[in-house]
Amino acid sequence: MEANIPEPDAVNMGTALYDRAMNLSLATTPEEFHGLALAAIDLIAHYYRNLSDMPVMPATTAVEVRQSLYEALPEEAGIPSEILKTVQDVIYPLCRHNGHPRFFGYISSPGSAATAVGELLAAALNANVTSWRSAPAAAELEHLVLDWLKGMIGYDLESGGLLVSGGSMANFAALATARTYVEETLAPKLSPDKRPALRIYVSEEGHFSIKKAAHLLGIGTANIQWIPTDAALRVNVVEMERRVKADREAGLTPMCIVANGGTTSTGAFDPIQELADIAERYGLWLHVDAAYGGFAALAPSAKHMFSGIERAASVSLDPHKWLYASVGCGCVLYRDAQVAARTFAEEIDYTRPIGLRGDEAFAFWEFGPELSRPFRALPLWLQLKLYGARSLSAAIENNITCARYFGQLVEDSADLELLAPVGLSVFCFRFRPVDYRGDLDALNERILIILQRAGSSYLSNTRVRCKFGLRGCVLNYRTTTQDMERLLDDVRDAARAALEAESYSE
């Protein structure tokens, strides 16, 4: 296979085929498509080959990027090889490389060869997966993939759900459904304007998409109770129950508990069983935001944390995080999908299925906010079919091992301080030289900027109990423990440079 990948100029191979047909028409012929696609595939193979040696983040500026790209709207068809060359020489290099083995920022999937091909295959079909009738195999494939996802985390196979754009949309859909449930069960007799405020309970470490959802749903961000956390940054369950009780006594309507299945900042995993007990005692909806941590259920060392997830009324999962899928693939699961249907279904004449019944009348738009939807299941299906759950599980376990290894390296270093226990695959730390009297937050901020600009490793930032932290998340099947050692060296180099710059400015 390797032998056919051209070096060094990746766009040559397919170019020969399609440059003869210089002006592609909109109705591109299959032969022209073949040449064009081959050239693009060559380019991608070239990218994958060089990825690990590229700077994680290009040293560039907005002006430089604009100058390389800006032009008037093309009126005429362009030359394919030239256009692909811009992708190869400008667009790819002038982006951050989330697939680089030492990219540790945020929570970003590296994607995979399988999902890249899956996106191409899905795009060519261009199915709009609104319902079964739109694309029967696409709809059934989504149901199948959803069943696989449910099985991975130990959720009820009878539950419903759908693929959505990401965790924010999944949380939004889940909270909208929770509101329906609570309005139907706890306050059905009151007209909406008389209903007491609905309350949401989530730890102070909860993701900001919960806040956005509360705002967009009209629940109001003031009605979120941000609950303090314990030493490991997991929610304080006793305080959670106290607040629920106090709200009820005050005449408010507790609506939903959100459990973090891996927080964004530190990877802390809330105790789901205990939160499920509270939800049960007070008749609340329990939503587990496992957008980040959900697929850690595949890792033997993390599986126990998922105990109780089967009791959740809804779950957010993001294949486009820890299942290494391409961006734009999230998932929301509802234990009782009919509550979601009562939230999202609309009887509209121009979409009503005619002549179809049962499974063939199934419409995804009845279970989430979107009508038009891309064929998200195909890249994900390809990912799972081509690699299999066993290799994904091994990669996830290895990510956890790498994060813990780095945590240990930090703990063994006198000039570094671990700011939180390593939660799943997230590590947070700061540089704290012995006898340093300056502002540690400012010093670490400078270290981060220098590290990111240097391009060998990439961390992002967070705040842990008011301290500025260097934060990394291992979410890449390419990352090894050697990369973690290299990261440590890169941090030390950046720290040295930051201290040196400080001594010059004094």
Ligand X SMILES: Cc1ncc(COP(=O)(O)O)c(C=O)c1O
Q: Rule CB under 6 A: which residues touch ligand X?
A: 107, 166-168, 171, 207, 209, 264, 289, 291-292, 318, 330
Closer by beta carbon to ligand X, 109 or else 479:
109
Minimal distance, residue 88 CB to ligand X, in Å: 28
Closer by beta carbon to ligand X, 455 or else 472:
472
Closer by beta carbon to ligand X, 150 or else 471:
471
Closer by beta carbon to ligand X, 312 or else 495:
312
Minimal distance, residue 266 CB to ligand X, in Å: 11
The DSSP symbol for 196 reads P
Q: Phi and psi dihedrals of 444, rounded to 5?
A: -70, -30
- For tokens 């470490």, the residue is 205
Kindly tell me the burial class for residue 4, based on how many C-beta atoms sit within 10 Å of its own C-beta (0-12, 13-18, 19 or more). Answer: exposed
Distance from C-alpha of 453 to C-alpha of 456, rounded to nearest angstrom: 9
DSSP result, 420-457: S--BTTEEEEEE--TT--S-HHHHHHHHHHHHHHH-S-
Minimal distance, residue 174 CB to ligand X, in Å: 11
Closer by beta carbon to ligand X, 322 or else 364:
322
Residue in 41, 37, 33 with CA at minimum distance from that of residue 6: 41
Kindly tell me the burial class for residue 368, based on how many C-beta atoms sit within 10 Å of its own C-beta (0-12, 13-18, 19 or more). Answer: buried
C-beta of residue 173 within 8 angstroms of C-beta of residue 332:
yes
Minimal distance, residue 360 CB to ligand X, in Å: 31
Minimal distance, residue 321 CB to ligand X, in Å: 7
Closer by beta carbon to ligand X, 101 or else 166:
166
C-alpha distances in angstroms, 468 versus 137, 219, 429?
A: 49, 31, 9
Minimal distance, residue 275 CB to ligand X, in Å: 15
Minimal distance, residue 167 CB to ligand X, in Å: 3
Minimal distance, residue 207 CB to ligand X, in Å: 4
Distance from C-alpha of 472 to C-alpha of 462, rounded to nearest angstrom: 9
- Tokens read off for 365: 């738009």
- Tokens read off for 430: 């700061």
Closer by beta carbon to ligand X, 166 or else 254:
166
Closer by beta carbon to ligand X, 321 or else 335:
321
State whether the Cα torsion 221-222-224-225 is positive or negative: positive
